[in-house]
Amino acid sequence: MGHYFAHDNTTFESDYKPKNILNMGTTFIITPHVINTINSLPVEERIAITAALAGEMILGTDSTSSLTPVQEIIFSMIRQYVRRDTERFADTLGHANRNAGQYQDHPAL
What Rg, from alpha-carbon coordinates, does the chain have? Answer: 18
Does residue 29 fall inside a structural domain?
yes
Q: Are strands 11-14 and 4-7 parallel, antiparallel or unpaired?
A: antiparallel
pLDDT digits 0-9 by tens, 52-81: 999 988 888 888 889 999 999 999 999 999
pLDDT digits 0-9 by tens, 90-101: 888 776 666 666
Residue 65 buriedness (CB in 10 A; 0-12 / 13-18 / 19+): exposed
Alpha helix locations (H) across the chain? Answer: 32-39, 43-54, 69-101
Domain span including residue 86: 4-101
pLDDT digits 0-9 by tens, 44-56: 999 999 999 999 8
Does residue 107 fall inside a structural domain?
no
Interacting residues of 98 by C-beta distance below 8 A, sequence separation 6+: none
Specify the number of domains making up the chain. Answer: 1
Does residue 106 fall inside a structural domain?
no
Does residue 25 fall inside a structural domain?
yes
Does residue 108 fall inside a structural domain?
no
Does residue 68 fall inside a structural domain?
yes
Q: Could you tell me what percent of the chain has a pLDDT over 90?
A: 39
Is the C-alpha dihedral spanning 67, 42, 88, 59 positive or negative?
A: negative
Asked whether 95 and 102 are in contact (CB, 8 A), the reply is no
**The pTM is what?**
0.63
